[in-house]
Structure 1
Amino acid sequence: MADVLVIGAGPAGLMAAEVAARAGARVSVLEARPSPARKLLMAGRSGLNLTRDEAPEAFAGRYSAPWIGAMTAAFGPPEVRAWAESLGIALFAGSTGRVFPVEMKASPLLRAWLARLGEMGVRVQSRWRWTGFDGPALCFDTPEGPRSLTPGATVLALGGASWPRLGSDAAWVPWLAARGVEIAPFRPANMGFQVVWSDHMTPFLGQPVKGLALQAGALRSRGEMVISARGIEGGGIYEVSAAVRDGAALTLDLCPDRSLLEVTGRLGARGKASLTTHLRKALRLDPVKIALVQEWGRPLPQTPERLARLLKALPVRHAGPRPLAEAISSAGGITRAAMGPDLELAALPGVFAAGEMLDWEAPTGGYLLTGCLATGRIAGQAAARHVGKGGA
């Protein structure tokens, strides 16, 4: 019998298990999938961006929910780095401040983390799928058949609603809602946008567009985007995607290192050159940028001043966000009003929640993972206190 039961073996759940066990609680982690932390391993395919080397105030400000940002004050970038290094994982910070393992993989960190948890007495069991409540008991489908458990405290860390094939399917929503837990509807976050391209864009599908500034409402990014058959995606898009999803117009600055005055001046004296040749020679625009101007800028202005304004704020025509199941993360989930300061559900005493189950969002770049770890830490500590471990 466990003192603390953690449901979900992603980063938030494993962190909750670690801190609860460190406080002296007996901890079991139950995971529906055949193996733990599948979304973490997927993220590791592109390098596993753990956190961001950034000033605390700026870092906290990247979260949609200030209360999540406040939790990173106690477990933010310095603490995440120290924790990973305590597992024997060497780290480095890139030129943008993103922090990665030197090996650029998630699997070594996960192996070391699971080994530590095992040494602490934490039991991790796979193929235990939570199916809801039966009175005060938690019900599960297991390889041995249905089971019901009534632990001293429970931490729910089941993820949001993105990447359902990796386990984040939000199947838990009706069970908590039926118990009186307020849940904001899920929406895609850090997602691409659908675009119906003209035929002339076919040669550019799959190509990155670099050297951009993207603007949507108050959000601005100096990242890049990728043109795909389905639309536009990539780091630069994800940084401004929340504002675009919520209705802000998206524009591209194709010459972010040149002022409007300089661009206007360079576009003068075109002579007999075609517009494509003129843009390439005067501003060194590459073919993919010129194709985007032709796609979204027609009818093209004929004066240097108006053309310069177009190049500095090219309007993006899209057909809305890609589906939630394709998003990197999700907005929505258990609301702040449904929880106490230690993430205990007001409607379910002794049940705590963490990670992407909660109603918050943040851009990619280390913010998502740090937020999950920070909330998992809070929930795990509170669950341990609930069963009389770890002090008041």
Structure 2
Amino acid sequence: EEVLTAGEGKPIKNIHVSAGGQVAIGELMLTRYGLEGGAIYQLGTALRGMEQPAIAIDFKPTFTREQLVVKMESVRRDFLKEATVRWKLGEPAVAILSRGTYQDAESLAREVKHCVIPLTGPRPIDEAISSAGGVRWSELDADLMVKKLPGLFVAGEMIDWEAPTGGYLMQGCFASATRAAEAAAGRLV
């Protein structure tokens, strides 16, 4: 909880987040209840497939571990404090990294490049901005009508598909709604 409080409401930008063999590029936000953000949303399918969901964050994807260590050559103590300046680590990243103790620049660089965070579960569905699941594509015809229920059309998040939140999701919903509405209107004439 101390970690969440220290970095709450501040984004961790320009990171790579991985889970289940997939990598997402984007950002995360520390909140009072955990992590959220585009990078987590992109990994939803991978995380749901994991027995014990966890993510690995690369806080400095444009640098190798070796390059980070070189930037700390003269440092002999207070590695995390020095890395905040030399590696330009933001406050939320430092809050997460402060969970560990680092005997040298190498151990800190390893954690910065591959910081594993176990996840306990998603927030309640009534707080979701988007969800997964829905009617399978195989159950729909080309006009987005449910094959087993002629005259019933579905669109957007009623269909089992996932898209990044925001504009892409909205565009997909609008496009599928247009397709379904035109087909439904055509059946009325």
The TM-score bracket by the shorter chain reads 0.7 to 0.9
1:282 counterpart residue number: 86
- The 1-side partners of 2:15 and 2:92 are apart by 12
Unaligned runs of 5+ in 1: 1-196
- The 2-side partners of 1:306 and 1:203 are apart by 22
Displacement after TM superposition at 1:234 (Å): 2.2
Which of 318, 342, 358 does residue 159 from structure 2 map onto?
358
The ranges of structure 1 where at least 4 consecutive aligned residues each deviate by more than 6 angstroms after the TM superposition are none
1:376 counterpart residue number: 177
2:62 counterpart residue number: 257
Structure (1/2) with the larger strand percentage = 1
> Aligned pair in 2 of structure 1 residues 218, 364: CA closer, same or farther (>3 Å)?
farther
Displacement after TM superposition at 1:292 (Å): 0.7
TM-score, structure 2 normalization: 0.85
- The 2-side partners of 1:341 and 1:349 are apart by 13
Task: Indicate conservation of the 8 Å contact 2:4/2:31, yes or no.
Answer: no
Amino acid at match of 2:10: Q
- The 1-side partners of 2:4 and 2:21 are apart by 29
Amino acid at match of 1:239: Q
Query: What SS class does the counterpart of residue 43 from structure 2 fall into?
Result: helix
Displacement after TM superposition at 1:287 (Å): 3.2
- The 1-side partners of 2:112 and 2:105 are apart by 10
Query: What SS class does the counterpart of residue 75 from structure 2 fall into?
Result: coil
Q: Residue by residue, what CA displacement relative to the aligned partner does 1:367-387 show, whole Å, maximum 9, x if unpaired?
A: 211111121122122223323
2:168 counterpart residue number: 367
Query: What SS class does the counterpart of residue 138 from structure 2 fall into?
Result: helix
1:241 counterpart residue number: 44
Q: Residue by residue, what CA displacement relative to the aligned partner does 1:310-368 show, whole Å, maximum 9, x if unpaired?
A: 11111112211112221111111112232222222222222222221111111114221
Root mean square deviation of aligned Cα: 2.2
Give the structure, 1 or 2, with the largest relative contact order (CA under 8 Å, sep 6 or more): 1
Structure with bigger gyration radius: 1
Unaligned runs of 5+ in 2: none
- The 2-side partners of 1:340 and 1:377 are apart by 15
Q: Residue by residue, what CA displacement relative to the aligned partner does 1:276-328 show, whole Å, maximum 9, x if unpaired?
A: 32222331223332221122xx3x35343343221111111221111222111
- The 1-side partners of 2:9 and 2:30 are apart by 5
Structure (1/2) with the larger helix percentage = 2
TM-score, structure 1 normalization: 0.44
Q: Residue by residue, what CA displacement relative to the aligned partner does 1:29-81 show, whole Å, maximum 9, x if unpaired?
A: xxxxxxxxxxxxxxxxxxxxxxxxxxxxxxxxxxxxxxxxxxxxxxxxxxxxx
The aligned runs of 1:7-18 (5 Å cut-off) are none
Task: Indicate conservation of the 8 Å contact 1:245/1:321, yes or no.
Answer: no
Which of 18, 33, 47 does residue 230 from structure 1 map onto?
33
Q: Residue by residue, what CA displacement relative to the aligned partner does 1:69-120 show, whole Å, maximum 9, x if unpaired?
A: xxxxxxxxxxxxxxxxxxxxxxxxxxxxxxxxxxxxxxxxxxxxxxxxxxxx
Displacement after TM superposition at 1:250 (Å): 0.8
The aligned runs of 1:128-167 (5 Å cut-off) are none
2:186 counterpart residue number: 385
Query: What SS class does the counterpart of residue 26 from structure 2 fall into?
Result: coil
> Aligned pair in 2 of structure 1 residues 278, 372: CA closer, same or farther (>3 Å)?
same
1:294 counterpart residue number: 98
In the alignment, structure 1 residue 269 sits paired with structure 2 residue 70: no
- The 2-side partners of 1:339 and 1:228 are apart by 39
